[in-house]
Amino acid sequence: MAVEKTYYITTPIYYVNDVPHIGHAYTTLACDVLARFKRLDGYRVHFLTGTDEHGQKVEKAAEAAGIPPKAFTDKVSVNFRELAEAMKFSNDDFIRTTEDRHLRSVQAIWKKLLDDGHIYLGSYAGWYAVRDEAFYTETELKDGPNGTKTAPSGATVEWVEEPSYFFRLSAWQDRLLEFYDRNPGFILPESRRNEVVSFVRSGLRDLSVSRTTFKWGVPVPGDDAHIMYVWLDALTNYITAVGYPDTQSEIFRTFWPADLHMVGKDILRFHAVYWPAFLMAAGLEPPRRVFAHGWWTNEGQKISKSLGNVIEPRGLVEKYGLDPVRYFLMREVPFGNDGDFSHRAMINRLNGDLANDIGNLCQRVLSMIAKNCDGRVPDPEGKEGPTDAALLARAAAMLPKLREELDTQSFHNALGTIWDVIGEANRYVDSEAPWALRKTDPARMGAVLYTLAETIRQIGLLVQPFMPDAASRILDQLSVPRNARDTAAYTAGRLVPGTALPKPEGVFPRFVAEEAGEGA
Ligand code: MSP
């Protein structure tokens, strides 16, 4: 039997103090595209997302809402599940850190770390930022307003003094550096990797991993005056979801180590420093990769609740449609860089790349076939020429290129690769002018339209992970069977001349701005 190809991909688990916004949708979307592509490419995929429900920040949000924390998290966690549905995320599991399976897992990793001498009891005196749920040294702080100090992220800090358990992070400096060295692809993009390496080189202090001044969290086994540090709790979700502490289970053996933890740049240190150290200390393998993507601004401004400019993904989807929003987010900025959301840029992409480029290509080819070829896949009748072969060769080359690009999370380039072929196909329509061949050489017209239909089939197949609905409409219009829409069918499943096609319909209508000042 062939060896099964597997792929385990995770999103960060989202704090439930907030309603989901474009940043959350972005991280999960990137994972969804990869998960869909890998499934298409024959992998057994496990795609995990969920909510991070413990800690002081959530406890405070519950207090502010005047509801007990468990009832509060039950209520708010649903928003993230609904976001997943609205965006058609194809996650295989949705974990909540308040579930029993997770409690069992976090307590097990704690015991393992304690028994093996990686955790000791001491006391913490220093700065803490509730918004980041992170400890900071005096030297890391920045000057804030009115002579105050803030965290590097701008979050308010408070002085904390309390008994605390510590993880011996200082002992892991050399092993972490060695690990980064042996695994150059562990942290992407490269520039982020360099930041992490220099942070670790500059020396690691032991990490406080428990708190005693609030209650909302997982109690430390055997010492329930302490609540486990929310990041130790949260990071462990990645192994809980594959059955930890049962490391012999089929699911754990199949999927651990994870292939990719997708995170925003703000939470890279937790994933690329603390997490591999916890795992190695617990005798487990670190994940294969952590990718840190950039942040979105809104019309040039930082997105924040206090500025009142939070972009809610649902509103965007209602206005522009799901597929255009998915396309925009994956195409507009090189993945890894920061990006700016604006309605103008969104409309430009929608009307340019979607309505004009792919929309027109499908529309004109399919309607010519409907009119001139009796609504059936045309027959090339031995009239294929070198220009046809050239276009089909370009189309065939997309798949291997996409594999490489998606393996380095280069979503924008992957779309660029597909859109290059779309551009090529549109130029081919113009230069071959099949409408003129109808009278002069109908057999040659058949060959040209066959070449185009076949190119569109390959484009439709590869667009599926990015725009699942639009892609399926394209493939339906070519009567591509449901079971011939994976990469195995890419070269093997060519269109069969004579196959009846349904009546063509537009795939991407142009967006017409209703309000002045909004138009592209
Ligand atoms: N709960 C932690 C993660 C624990 S993972 C073990 C957390 N949650 S979060 O809800 O605050 O953020 C989740 C993700 O959303 C992060 O990857 C963060 O980078 C991303 N984003 C939040 N705002 C964003 C933008 N404005 N733009 C892009 N992504 C942003 O951190």
Query: 356 in a domain, yes or no?
Result: yes
Q: Which atom of ligand 1 is nearest to the CA of 18?
A: 10
Give CA–CA dist 49/56, Å, rounded.
21
- Spell out the residues 6+ positions from residue 64 whose beta carbon is closer than 8 angstroms to its own: none
Cα-only R_g, the chain: 26
Under the banding of pLDDT at 50, 70 and 90, the label for residue 93 is very high
> How many CA atoms lie within 13 Å of 379's alpha carbon, on the beta-carbon side?
6
Angle at the Cα of 74 from the Cα atoms of 153 and 290, rounded to 5 degrees: 40
Query: 351 in a domain, yes or no?
Result: yes
- Report how far ligand 1's centroid is from the alpha carbon of 212 (Å): 26
The distance from CA 381 to its chain's CA centroid, rounded to whole angstroms, is: 45
> What residues does 291 pair with on adjacent strands?
188, 262
Give CA–CA dist 143/154, Å, rounded.
9
Under the banding of pLDDT at 50, 70 and 90, the label for residue 107 is very high
pLDDT score for 19? 83
Give CA–CA dist 154/149, Å, rounded.
9
Query: 353 in a domain, yes or no?
Result: yes
Residue 76 has pLDDT above 50, yes or no: yes
Other C-beta atoms within 10 Å of 144: how many?
14
Under the banding of pLDDT at 50, 70 and 90, the label for residue 1 is low
Q: Which atom of ligand 1 is nearest to the CA of 296?
A: 27
Residue 344 has pLDDT above 60, yes or no: yes
Under the banding of pLDDT at 50, 70 and 90, the label for residue 9 is very high
- Report how far ligand 1's centroid is from the alpha carbon of 14 (Å): 7
pLDDT score for 518? 46
pLDDT score for 307? 82
CATH of the domain at 402: 1.10.730.10
DSSP 4: P
Cα dist from 456 to 64, 391, 453, 504, whole Å: 54, 11, 5, 13
pLDDT score for 519? 41
DSSP 337: B
SS3 state of residue 246 = coil
Residues with CB under 6 A from ligand 1: 12-15, 23-24, 26-27, 52, 234-235, 263-264, 266-267, 295-296, 303
- Spell out the residues 6+ positions from residue 306 whose beta carbon is closer than 8 angstroms to its own: none
Mean pLDDT of 258-262: 98
Residue 18 has pLDDT above 90, yes or no: no
- 79, 263, 328: residue to mutate for ligand 1 pocket, most atoms within 8 A of CB: 263
Tell how strand 290-293 and strand 260-264 pair up: parallel
Encode pLDDT of 379-418 as tens digits: 998 999 999 999 999 999 999 999 999 999 999 999 999 9
Mean pLDDT of 213-220: 95
pLDDT score for 381? 87
Phi then psi for residue 353, to 5 deg, are: -65, -35
- 9, 19, 52: residue to mutate for ligand 1 pocket, most atoms within 8 A of CB: 52
DSSP 483: G
SS3 state of residue 319 = helix
Under the banding of pLDDT at 50, 70 and 90, the label for residue 209 is very high
Q: Which domain holds residue 390?
A: 343-492
pLDDT score for 514? 67
Contact, 308 vs 284, CB < 8 A? no
Residue 516 has pLDDT above 50, yes or no: no
Residue 513 has pLDDT above 90, yes or no: no
Query: 113 in a domain, yes or no?
Result: no
Contact, 270 vs 279, CB < 8 A? no
Residue scoring higher pLDDT (18 or 43): 43
Give CA–CA dist 120/122, Å, rounded.
7
Mean pLDDT of 132-150: 91
Percentage of the chain lying above the pLDDT 90 cut: 91
Residue 515 has pLDDT above 60, yes or no: no
- Report how far ligand 1's centroid is from the alpha carbon of 265 (Å): 9
Q: pTM for the complete prediction? A: 0.96
Q: Which residue is associated with the tokens 């079971």?
A: 483
Residue 116 has pLDDT above 80, yes or no: yes
Q: Which atom of ligand 1 is nearest to the CA of 271?
A: 6
CA-nearest residue, atom 22 of ligand 1: 23
CA-nearest residue, atom 23 of ligand 1: 23
Encode pLDDT of 428-470 as tens digits: 999 999 999 999 999 999 999 999 999 999 999 999 999 999 9
Other C-beta atoms within 10 Å of 227: how many?
22
Query: 483 in a domain, yes or no?
Result: yes
Under the banding of pLDDT at 50, 70 and 90, the label for residue 306 is confident
pLDDT score for 520? 40
Q: Which atom of ligand 1 is nearest to the CA of 266?
A: 19
CA-nearest residue, atom 17 of ligand 1: 264
Give CA–CA dist 267/491, Å, rounded.
41
Nearest to 206 by CA among 110, 123, 290, 150: 123
Position 338: which residue type?
D
Query: 149 in a domain, yes or no?
Result: no
Report the number of distinct structural domains present in the chain: 1
Terminal alpha carbon distance of the chain: 54
Query: 288 in a domain, yes or no?
Result: no
Contacts 24+ apart (CB under 8 A), 104-107: 104/245, 105/236, 105/239, 105/240, 105/244, 105/245, 106/218, 106/228, 106/232, 106/233, 106/236, 106/240, 107/218, 107/221
Overall size of the chain counted in residues: 520
Under the banding of pLDDT at 50, 70 and 90, the label for residue 475 is very high
- Report how far ligand 1's centroid is from the alpha carbon of 320 (Å): 24
- Report how far ligand 1's centroid is from the alpha carbon of 287 (Å): 19
Label residue 375 left, alpha or beta by phi (over 0 means left) and psi (-120 to 50 means alpha): left
Query: 252 in a domain, yes or no?
Result: no
CA-nearest residue, atom 8 of ligand 1: 14
- 28, 131, 237, 295: residue to mutate for ligand 1 pocket, most atoms within 8 A of CB: 295
Q: Which atom of ligand 1 is nearest to the CA of 15?
A: 10
> What residues does 164 pair with on adjacent strands?
122
- Report how far ligand 1's centroid is from the alpha carbon of 486 (Å): 32
Numbers of helices and strands, H then E, in the chain: 22, 19
- Report how far ligand 1's centroid is from the alpha carbon of 24 (Å): 6
Give CA–CA dist 142/77, Å, rounded.
33
